[in-house]
Amino acid sequence: MKKIILVSLVVIAGCSNIPKQKGLVYYNDFEYAKGWEDVNLGKEPVHSGVYSNKMDSIHQYGATFKLPFKEVANGKVASVKISLWAYLEPNAKTSIVTEVRRPDQGSLLYQGYKLEDVIKEKNKWQEVEFTVPINDSLNKPDNIFMVYPWNLSKSNVYVDDVRIEFILGGF
């Protein structure tokens, strides 16, 4: 009986296609929101799985990814590649915000990427990718890198399958 249970667990673990948090890549499909802050989940529409991150007139901000550079790697981060799937209802105005903050909460970088500038077709899931360069003045061990969606409208916005990859360069 113990062998059957052990084999079943190995098969289940081996067949799982859920992306894992590992090394320099962080992923959130909103099925498992551990480590992400401010999550408002929606069941319709979703890009994959059962849930997506829903922003509306009440929930302006989406799930926040927040990590100090010292927890990323021993080397210098040269850039951060962000990809996600977004679903915008008509009249939606949404930014994906990237921020680098000092531990005292002072902002060193604040940049918004307007989704409506790249997503022309509403009510349809579309993939968005962009890269944030990280210069040496931002790349201090205690500085915190953040990514979050910000809904600037009353229309519903959904985000799913967020992938954040730290690219190292210069050690």
**pLDDT digits over 118-148, tens only?**
998 999 999 999 999 999 999 999 999 999 9
6 in any annotated domain: no
> Quick one: pLDDT at residue 151?
96
First and final C-alpha spacing in the chain: 52
9 in any annotated domain: no
> Quick one: pLDDT at residue 29?
67
> Quick one: pLDDT at residue 75?
82
Going by C-alpha positions, the residue among 127, 152, 160 that lies closest to residue 59 is: 152
5 in any annotated domain: no
Beta pairing class for 144-151 and 65-68: antiparallel
CA dist 154 and 51 (Å) reads 21
CATH code for position 30? 2.60.120.260
Its sign, for the CA torsion 29, 32, 35, 38, is positive
Q: Choose between 131 and 171: higher pLDDT.
A: 131
> Counting Cβ atoms within 10 Å, is residue 129 exposed (0-12), middle (13-18) or buried (19+)?
exposed
155 in any annotated domain: yes
12 in any annotated domain: no
Residue 79 near residue 133 (C-beta atoms within 8 A): yes
Going by C-alpha positions, the residue among 150, 147, 145 that lies closest to residue 61 is: 150
> Quick one: pLDDT at residue 47?
77
Going by C-alpha positions, the residue among 94, 137, 100, 126 that lies closest to residue 113 is: 94
164 in any annotated domain: yes
Count of Cβ atoms closer than 10 Å to residue 122 Cβ: 14
When divided into structural domains, the chain yields a total of: 1
110 in any annotated domain: yes
Q: Which of 74-78, 89-93, 145-149 has the lowest mean pLDDT?
A: 74-78
pTM for the complete prediction? Answer: 0.78
Q: How many CA atoms lie within 13 A of 96 on its CB side?
A: 29
Distances (CA, A) of 99 to 18, 19, 139: 27, 25, 12
CA of residue 124 relative to chain centroid, distance: 19
Residue 130 near residue 82 (C-beta atoms within 8 A): yes
3 in any annotated domain: no
Its domain, for residue 63, covers 23-168
